[in-house]
Amino acid sequence: MLHYIDVILPIPLEKLFTYSITMAESEFLKPGMRVAVPFGKSKIYTALVFNVHQQKPVAYDAKEIHQILDDAPITTPQQLKHWQWIADYYMCTLGDVLRAALPNSFLLESETIITKNLDKIINDEELNDQEFLVYEALHHQSSLKIHDLVSILDKKNVFPIINGLLDKEAIMLQEEVYEKYKPKMVRYVKLNGVYSDQTKLQQLLEELSRAPKQRDVVMTLFSISAQTKQPVKVTELTEASGASAAIIKTLIDKEILDEYQIQEDRVGYSGEANEDSKKLNSYQEKALEEIKKTFEKHHITLLHGVTSSGKTEVYVKLIEEVIATGKQVLYLLPEIALTTQLVTRLENYFGGKVSVYHSKYSAHERFELWHNVLENQPKAQIILGARSSIFLPYHNLGLVIVDEEHETSFKQFDPAPRYHARDAAVVLASLFNSKTLLGSATPSLESYYNVQQGKYGLVEITQRFNDVMMPDIELVDIQDKHKRKRMNGHFSDRLIEEMTSALKDGHQIILFQNRRGFSPIVECTTCGHAPQCSNCDVSLTYHQYKNELRCHYCGYHTAMQKACMACGSVELDTKGFGTEQVQEEAQAIFPDHKVARMDLDTTRGKFGYEKIIRAFEEKEVDILVGTQMLTKGLDFRNVKLVGIMNADNMLNFPDFRAHERSFQLMLQVSGRAGRTDERGIVLIQTYNPHHRILQQVSTNNYAEMYAEQMDERHNFNYPPIYRLIKITFKHKDFNKVNIGAEWYATALRQVFKNYILGPEFPPISRIRNQFHKHILVKIPPQQSLGKTKKAIAKVNNSFLSIKDFRSVRVILNVDNY
C-alpha cells in the first residue's frame, strides 16, 4: 500500500501538493508537522502536512519527501480549519496564509540567508560536528545561503542542522534581523554623590540662593526622597517642584543632579500582578452583566461605550473570569506600538500571564511565543496583539476581545491574505465555541448593522468614567474667519484664544492634521507647474525639515527646487498644509512653549512612538501636532484642548467610507480631551460647518450618523448591505492594463450583469511606474457569496491563461477597505 501526504507549500499554489512517504513515515506524520520537500528543479521548501492519505495523485508522480522536521505538530487542528476558511473567504491560497501565519524561522527555504547571532556567545562543545562546521564557516564569511551549506556539509539535507543552530541561538535568518523590542526606560534623578559631604552641600545651597528655582528643585528632591525612600522619577520631581524641564536639565548639565534610567518591564513581563482590577462603577457593572446576558444568545456582542467610559476595565473583568477556567484569551488591538499604555495596564493586573505578540519581535521571540501558546503555558494565557496574532496556535481559546473594532488597519492590504482581523477573529472564536466582544466608541457600520440584523448583541455605556463630561465640541468657520482677517496662518483667532488659555493653566494641547510634510503641493505662480513624482501620478510633498520634495507613494525624493522646472521663475508657492507647517506655525505663535510632532516622519526611528508618547506624558511637550496616530486609544491625563486643523480634506476624500471614517477619526481624537475632572474643549476648523457629519460629530450623535450613512449605502448598493470585491490590475504597460481590465470586466458582466462597476482608474492611477485599474464586484445580500467567488475564480483562470495577460498582476480584495 502506498502512502501520501498533502502539504501546504509556502508559495501561492492553487492546490495542495502531494508527496509520497513510507509506511513508517505515514504512521508518524500528523497534520501540522513540517517536512522538507523538493520542489521544481532544485528548490527545497519547508512544507506543512495538511493530511495523510493513500490516494495517488493523478496528474503527476509524487516525489518523496526529504525529511521530517518535527516530532509533534506545530499547529492545531482548529488552526488548519481557520486557515482554510481564510483562504476560501479571502480568495487566496493556503500557501499565502501559511506565510503570514508562521514565524519565518519555521519556514526555511533555499533562499534563506544565514548569519551568525552576534548577541550570543557559543562554546564549541555546545555544537555537534556538523553544526560546528557551519558555525566555523560563518567566522570566515558573514552570511551563507542554503546551497552553501549543502556544499560545506556535502549533504542535501541541511535543515536539521539549521534548526539545531537556531535552537541554540547560534545563528539568525537574514530576513529576521529585527531590532529587539526595547523596554521602556524611565528617567530618574538623584543628587550628585559629591554632596553627601555636608560642607559641600552647604556650599551648594548658598550658591543656589541666587537661583531660587534651582534651589527649590533641590529642596523638593530632598523632601520626596525623605518621604518615599525610593528613587525619584524626573516626572515626580517636575510635578512636585513646579519646575520646567529646562531647569532640571540645567541642574543635570551643571552636574548637581545625576540622571539615570531604570528599565520598566514590558515584554516578557516577569513581575507579579501588582494591582487588583478596579471596582466597576454602576454603568460598567451593568454593562458587564448585560454582556454576559447577550452571550447566552449571541456569539458576538458589540460594546458601544463613549471614549473614556472605562471599556478596558470591563474587558478586564471578563478576562479574569475566562482565565480562571484555564482558557486562553486573545485581545486584539489595531496597532501594538501605540498601545504601550494598555500593555502596562494589563500587566499590572495579570502579571506574567500576559504575552504581547509584536511584529517587531525577533524570530526567537516569536518562535518562543508560538510554543508558549501551543503548549498552553500559563505565561501565554492572555495574548495581546495586532492582527497577525489571530494566527497563533491557540489550544483552548475562551474569549476574543477586539478593541477599537472600527479601525480599518485591522484589514490587511498587501500581501495576501487580505484578511480582516476582526472578522477572521470572530470565525476563530467560533471554532472554539467561544465568544467575541467587539468594543468601540464609534462602531463600524458593519458591526452596528449586524446588531440591527439581530446577529450581534449590543451593550452601551453612555457615561464617561467618573462622570467626566464629554468634551465641548465647537465648529469654527474658517471661511468667515478668512473674510474677516481673523486667521494667523492656519490658526483661527478662536483656536489661538483657547490655546493661550489652556497653556496658561498648564494644560496640554493636541493638534490634529491628517497629512504629513509641510505642504502637499508646490506650485509655480507664473506658469502653474507643480512638480510631480516621476514614478507615480501624484504631486510631490514639500518637507521643509529636510528641504526635500517627497513622494508619499513610492518614497522618491529630491532636493526642493529653487526655481520652477518649467519656466525658471523663482516664485514658488505652496498649497495645502501638513503637520510640519502646523508645528512651525504653532511654534511661532507660542515661542515659549515646546511643540512636538507625531507622524510617520518623526516615528520612523526604532522606538519613535514611545519617545514622543513618553515626552508628552511627562509634560516635556506642551503642544503635540500629529496625524491619525493620535487617535488610537491614548490616555493622556492633562490634555484640555484638541484642535482639528482642517476637517474638509478628510470629508472630501474620494471613498464611500470617507464620511464614516471622518466621524470616527474626529470623535476619537476629540476623546483625547478632558479625560479627568476638567471638561475638555475641541475646536474643529472647517470651510463647511453645516456639513452633516460635522454636526453629528459636534453633538456626538452616532445614531443619526448611522441612519444617514446607511441610507447612502442602501441607495448606492454599498457595504454593509452589499458585499464588495475589488479587483485590481497592475502593469507597467498602460495598454495591457486597459485591455486586460476591459476583457475581465466583459467576462464578469456576462455573469453578473449590472453589478460590475468599472474598470476605472483610481484617483492615483500610476504608482511605482505601475498603472492601476479597478473593477468592483457588488454582491447583493441574497446572492450566494460562495458561488460568486467561484464565478470570479473561473474568469480569473481564463484571464491568466491568455498569453498576453499573463504578466498583468491581478489582485482580489474581498471586503475591500
Picked from Zn ion, ligand ADP, none, the partner binding residue 567 (CB below 5 to 8 A depending on kind) is Zn ion
Contacts 24+ apart (CB under 8 A), 261-264: 261/185, 261/186, 261/187, 261/188, 262/185, 262/186, 262/188, 262/231, 263/183, 263/184, 263/185, 263/186, 264/183, 264/184, 264/185, 264/186, 264/344
Picked from Zn ion, ligand ADP, none, the partner binding residue 88 (CB below 5 to 8 A depending on kind) is none
Picked from ligand ADP, Zn ion, none, the partner binding residue 635 (CB below 5 to 8 A depending on kind) is ligand ADP
Contact 27, 50 (CB under 8 A): no
Q: Which of 237, 536, 684, 808 binds Zn ion (CB under 5 A)?
A: 536
Binding mask 487-526 for Zn ion (x = CB under 5 A): -------------------------------------x-x
Whole-number Å distance between alpha carbons of 655 and 411: 16
Q: Which of 130, 225, 281, 783 binds ligand ADP (CB under 6 A)?
A: 281
Contact 34, 79 (CB under 8 A): no
We find the least distance from the C-beta atom of residue 264 to ligand ADP, in angstroms, to be 18
Picked from ligand ADP, Zn ion, none, the partner binding residue 527 (CB below 5 to 8 A depending on kind) is Zn ion
> Cell match 503642544: residue?
623
Whole-number Å distance between alpha carbons of 249 and 254: 9
Give Rg (Cα) of the chain.
30
What SS3 class is residue 461? strand
b/e string for 307-334 if b means 16 or more Cβ within 10 A? bbbbbbbbbbbbbeebbeeebbbbbbbb
Picked from Zn ion, ligand ADP, none, the partner binding residue 307 (CB below 5 to 8 A depending on kind) is ligand ADP
Q: Per the annotation, does 536 bind a ligand?
A: yes
Please identify, using beta-carbon distances, which residue of 73 and 305 lies nearer to ligand ADP. Answer: 305
Pairing of strands 623-626, 595-598: parallel
Picked from ligand ADP, Zn ion, none, the partner binding residue 269 (CB below 5 to 8 A depending on kind) is none
Q: Which of 213, 233, 278, 379 binds ligand ADP (CB under 6 A)?
A: 278
Please identify, using beta-carbon distances, which residue of 533 and 795 lies nearer to Zn ion. Answer: 533
The helix (H) or strand (E) run that includes residue 292 is helix 282-297
Q: Does 569 help bind Zn ion (rule: CB under 5 A)?
A: yes
Picked from Zn ion, ligand ADP, none, the partner binding residue 526 (CB below 5 to 8 A depending on kind) is Zn ion
Contacts 24+ apart (CB under 8 A), 316-321: 316/277, 316/278, 316/346, 316/349, 317/277, 317/280, 317/288, 318/288, 318/291, 318/399, 318/401, 318/437, 319/350, 319/382, 319/399, 319/401, 320/277, 320/349
Enumerate residues 6+ apart whose C-beta is below 8 A from 569. 524, 525, 526, 527, 563
Contact 284, 303 (CB under 8 A): no
Contact 404, 444 (CB under 8 A): no
Q: Which of 117, 312, 813, 816 binds ligand ADP (CB under 6 A)?
A: 312
Residue range at the interface with Zn ion (CB under 5 A); choices 322-330, 401-409, 530-538, 579-587? 530-538
Q: Does 284 help bind ligand ADP (rule: CB under 6 A)?
A: yes
Picked from ligand ADP, Zn ion, none, the partner binding residue 574 (CB below 5 to 8 A depending on kind) is none
Q: Does 116 help bind ligand ADP (rule: CB under 6 A)?
A: no
Picked from ligand ADP, Zn ion, none, the partner binding residue 569 (CB below 5 to 8 A depending on kind) is Zn ion
Picked from ligand ADP, Zn ion, none, the partner binding residue 281 (CB below 5 to 8 A depending on kind) is ligand ADP
Q: Does 307 help bind ligand ADP (rule: CB under 6 A)?
A: yes
We find the least distance from the C-beta atom of residue 560 to Zn ion, in angstroms, to be 15
Q: Which of residues 441-470 bind ligand ADP (CB under 6 A)?
A: 465
Q: Does 554 help bind Zn ion (rule: CB under 5 A)?
A: yes
Whole-number Å distance between alpha carbons of 132 and 638: 57
Q: Does 294 help bind ligand ADP (rule: CB under 6 A)?
A: no
> CA 805, 808, 809, 811 torsion: positive or negative?
negative
Show the beta-strand stretches assigned E in 376-482: 382-385, 397-403, 435-440, 457-461, 472-477
Residue range at the interface with Zn ion (CB under 5 A); choices 455-463, 559-567, 681-689, 699-707? 559-567
Rounded to 5 degrees, φ, ψ at 105 are: -70, -15
Residue range at the interface with ligand ADP (CB under 6 A); choices 23-31, 301-309, 385-393, 658-666? 301-309
We find the least distance from the C-beta atom of residue 642 to ligand ADP, in angstroms, to be 15
Q: Per the annotation, does 92 bind a ligand?
A: no
Please identify, using beta-carbon distances, which residue of 553 and 687 lies nearer to Zn ion. Answer: 553
Picked from ligand ADP, Zn ion, none, the partner binding residue 742 (CB below 5 to 8 A depending on kind) is none
Q: Does 92 help bind Zn ion (rule: CB under 5 A)?
A: no
Size of the site for ligand ADP (CB under 6 A): 15
Q: Which of 162, 208, 280, 337 binds ligand ADP (CB under 6 A)?
A: 280
Q: Per the annotation, does 567 bind a ligand?
A: yes
We find the least distance from the C-beta atom of residue 274 to ligand ADP, in angstroms, to be 15
DSSP notation for 426-450? HHHHHHTT-EEEEEESS--HHHHHH
The grid coordinates of residue 703 equal 445614531
Q: Does 286 help bind ligand ADP (rule: CB under 6 A)?
A: no
> CA 603, 604, 610, 612 torsion: positive or negative?
negative
Whole-number Å distance between alpha carbons of 587 and 671: 24
We find the least distance from the C-beta atom of residue 269 to ligand ADP, in angstroms, to be 19
Enumerate residues 6+ apart whose C-beta is below 8 A from 304. 440, 441, 443, 448, 458, 459, 460, 461, 702
Picked from ligand ADP, Zn ion, none, the partner binding residue 764 (CB below 5 to 8 A depending on kind) is none
Picked from Zn ion, ligand ADP, none, the partner binding residue 5 (CB below 5 to 8 A depending on kind) is none
Query: SS in 3 state form for 492-521?
Result: EHHHHHHHHHHHHCCCEEEEECCCCCCECE
Residue range at the interface with ligand ADP (CB under 6 A); choices 234-242, 243-251, 305-313, 624-632? 305-313
Please identify, using beta-carbon distances, which residue of 444 and 519 lies nearer to ligand ADP. Answer: 444
Q: Which of 476, 495, 533, 650 binds Zn ion (CB under 5 A)?
A: 533
Q: Identify the DSSP state of 396.
A: S
Residue range at the interface with Zn ion (CB under 5 A); choices 100-108, 249-257, 547-555, 588-596? 547-555
CA nearest neighbour of 459 among 447, 467, 477: 447
Q: Does 310 help bind ligand ADP (rule: CB under 6 A)?
A: yes
Q: Which of residues 576-635 bind ligand ADP (CB under 6 A)?
A: 635
Please identify, using beta-carbon distances, which residue of 305 and 517 lies nearer to ligand ADP. Answer: 305
Whole-number Å distance between alpha carbons of 453 and 382: 31
We find the least distance from the C-beta atom of residue 281 to ligand ADP, in angstroms, to be 5
Torsion angle, alpha carbons of 356, 361, 366, 367, to 10: -150
Q: Residues interacting with Zn ion, by CB under 5 A?
A: 524, 526-527, 529, 533, 535-536, 551, 553-554, 556, 564, 566-567, 569
Q: Where does this chain bind ligand ADP (CB under 6 A)? A: 278-281, 284, 305, 307-313, 465, 635
Residues in binding site for Zn(2+): 524, 527, 533, 536, 551, 554, 564, 567
Residues tagged in the binding site annotation? 524, 527, 533, 536, 551, 554, 564, 567
